[in-house]
Amino acid sequence: MALGMHVISAQNLVVEFPMYAAAHRSLKKTVLHASTGGRIAQDARDRVTVRALDGISFVINSGDRVGLVGHNGSGKTTLLRVLAGAYEPVVGKLEIFGRVASLLDIAMGMDNDATGYENIVLRVIMMGLSPTEMRTRVEEIGEFSELGEYLDMPVRTYSAGMQMRLAFAVSTSISADILLMDEWLSVGDAQFNEKASKRLDAIIAQSKALIIASHSPELISKLCNRGIRLQHGRLEEEFAP
Amino acid sequence: MELEFPKPVTAGAESSDAIYRVGFGQSRRSQAVQDIRSGLAAWDIWALLGWQDIKQRYRRSVLGPLWLTISTAIMIGVLSFLYGALFRLPVDVYAPFVGVGIVVWNFISMLLHEACNVFISVEAIVKQVRVPLTLHVCRMVWRNFVVFLHNALVVIPIYLVFGKGLHWDLLLVAPALLAIALNGLWAGIALGILCTRFRDIPPIVVNLVQVVFFVTPIMWLPELLSARGLTWVVSLNPMHHFVEIVRAPVLGTPVPMLSWAVVTAVTVVGWLIALALLERYRHRVPYWL
């Protein structure tokens, strides 16, 4: 396989969301559409779509630290989800070389009634580790979270800060080639946050590429060597942060 | 150029040549087949997740999943007593019949109910990581199989008291359960996709399942209808055949060829439908959530 230095190449990515209002989403409209000809049918056919990404193209090379900026609703999170492989683009080509770690919603798959340890297992598996591989990591993750005996208690009993610590410890336990982040993860009290930042720095240093969406120009200029500005789903400009 | 998708959930994905590609003209069909294949292959993952679901459901109860066994036992006990008397059937005929029937029916109806929400309930995962849709369906089927095993405990005492002892026919229960599970998989894929798109379908399914319960000979014996020349009501009901392929061998009666023929036909047609839906809409599911 011809593998250049690029880890992600995207060509003309288009993502469209169908907008189903509560009424639109129902079978009624579709069935009525089949049986009647009037305005309702028109409704069902001409459904409103929102173009969340509109012809985005870029190449990300090994070593790139890319900051995604743009207003709310400009398509940053959608783009990250496309890169994570969750949303498949309607049009366009996307190639990703390497293992992707998605830190978009670090509380994903948390089960409030399960214990801390069980949640570590659930989450790690969802991130792509095999159950055997996972068993070796659980201790390390538990230790990092500093939750001690709480790990044997249901997550429901945790404070919000403790839940975040656990989620953070798990999410950042897997090394990956490509890291996707939606804003910098900041967790817990000052002391833990410092430790967390160090860990994030470490996994970023190990990764080949980082793509982070942020509203903070300082963060982007500190962290990134490339900036991409999105507006209304279009790639407006590339800039040096 | 044929390119293999990497297994979306793998341990070995650390190698840097793990590639994710979309838009390179891969056929929708091969992607759908790949989804099913890698979903099934990740058995260690869905087994663990499904087991976790059960543990979570009964977390704070002392008896845990045995509650299922107890409530099924009470239900079957009451039914055998009351309806046995209503239908004037000897308890050694009616109790095993209704016992096995209810346990199998519970399995089937739970599969159908949960098939509707199979993707809706894992929205957070579907929207964030690339996992084969089939994996979620496998998790659902496995979870309900475990529940079924708990329920099936009820049949053991009934069998010891009224059963015909060990006989070879019992071996037919294994392929029958496998057939039900295979149908649970296609139903999960097909209903899962449809219900994610059209949120009115789950209540329709719930309603239909309830109606079918009364139409299917579970609480009443099929002979009651054939005596009135209404055999077709039973023969045309596919659910009857699904129940029958498990119930008949346990009761020690021969399984009608018709039942296996219907089950096979439903399985084939159902999988074709599921494949067609998966082929067309697999990539749309995250957008609908």
Which pLDDT tens digit goes with each residue over A15-45?
A: 988 777 655 566 666 666 554 444 443 444 5
Residues of B in contact with A97 (CB under 8 A): 16-19
The amino acid sitting at A229 is: R
CA-to-CA separations, B59 to A123, A154, B68, B184, in angstroms, rounded: 19, 10, 14, 26
Shortest CA gap A229–chain B (Å): 22
In CATH, the number for domain A103-207 is 3.40.50.300
Residue of A nearest to B286 (CA): A87
Residues of B in contact with A125 (CB under 8 A): 9, 45, 48-49
Q: Which of B14, B19, B201 sits opposite A27 (nearest CB)?
A: B201
Residue of B nearest to A153 (CA): B59
Query: Phi then psi for A99, rounded to 5 degrees?
Result: -85, 130
Local structure of A17: helix, strand or coil: strand
pLDDT confidence of residue A23: 53
**Residue A180, strand partner residues:** A102, A211
Residues of A in contact with B53 (CB under 8 A): none
Residues of B in contact with A18 (CB under 8 A): 287-288
Ordered by start, the domain boundaries in chain B are: 27-288
How many whole angstroms separate alpha carbon B24 and alpha carbon A10? 11
Residues of A in contact with B49 (CB under 8 A): 122, 125
Q: Name A233's Cβ contacts closer than 8 Å, sequence gap at least 6.
A: A15, A51, A52, A53, A54, A56, A74, A75, A78
What is the tens place of the pLDDT at every residue in A156-166? 899 888 888 88
Residues of A in contact with B281 (CB under 8 A): none
How many whole angstroms separate alpha carbon B212 and alpha carbon B214? 5
What is the tens place of the pLDDT at every residue in B218-262? 999 988 888 888 888 899 999 999 999 999 999 989 999 999 999
Q: Interface pTM (ipTM) of the complex? A: 0.77
pLDDT in single tens digits along all 289 residues of chain B = 333 333 344 333 333 454 788 878 788 899 999 999 999 998 988 998 898 888 888 777 778 778 888 999 999 999 999 998 998 999 889 999 999 999 999 999 999 999 999 999 988 888 878 889 999 999 999 999 999 999 999 999 999 888 777 888 899 999 999 999 999 999 999 999 999 999 999 999 999 999 999 999 999 998 888 888 888 889 999 999 999 999 999 998 999 999 999 999 999 999 999 999 999 999 899 988 8
- On whether the CB atoms of residues B8 and A130 are closer than 8 A, the answer is no
Shortest CA gap B269–chain A (Å): 23
Residues of A in contact with B124 (CB under 8 A): 105, 108-109
Contact B16 A97 (CB under 8 A): yes
Contact B18 A84 (CB under 8 A): no
Q: Name A225's Cβ contacts closer than 8 Å, sequence gap at least 6.
A: A63, A64, A65, A240, A241
DSSP state of A18: E
Strands A234-239 and A226-231: antiparallel
Shortest CA gap B59–chain A (Å): 7
Residues of B with CB under 8 A from a CB of A: 8-11, 13-14, 16-24, 44-45, 48-49, 52, 55-56, 59-60, 124-131, 197-201, 204, 283, 286-288
Q: A189, A119, A201: which is closest to A154 by C-alpha?
A: A119
- State yes or no: pLDDT of A2 exceeds 50: no
* Mean confidence (pLDDT) of chain B: 88
**Residue A115, strand partner residues:** A154
How many whole angstroms separate alpha carbon B36 and alpha carbon B125? 17
pLDDT confidence of residue A34: 56
- Do domains A6-98+215-239 and A103-207 share one topology? The answer is yes
pLDDT confidence of residue A103: 85
What is the model's pTM?
0.84
The amino acid sitting at B226 is: S
Counts of helices then strands in chain B (DSSP H, E): 14, 1
A183: alpha, beta or left, given left = phi > 0 and alpha = psi -120 to 50? Answer: left
Residue of A nearest to B59 (CA): A113
Contact A86 B286 (CB under 8 A): yes
Q: Which fold has domain A6-98+215-239?
A: Rossmann fold (3.40.50)
Query: Phi then psi for A97, rounded to 5 degrees?
Result: -110, 105
Task: Tell me the CB-side half-sphere exposure of residue A235, using CA atoms within 13 A.
Answer: 18
Ordered by start, the domain boundaries in chain A are: 6-98+215-239, 103-207
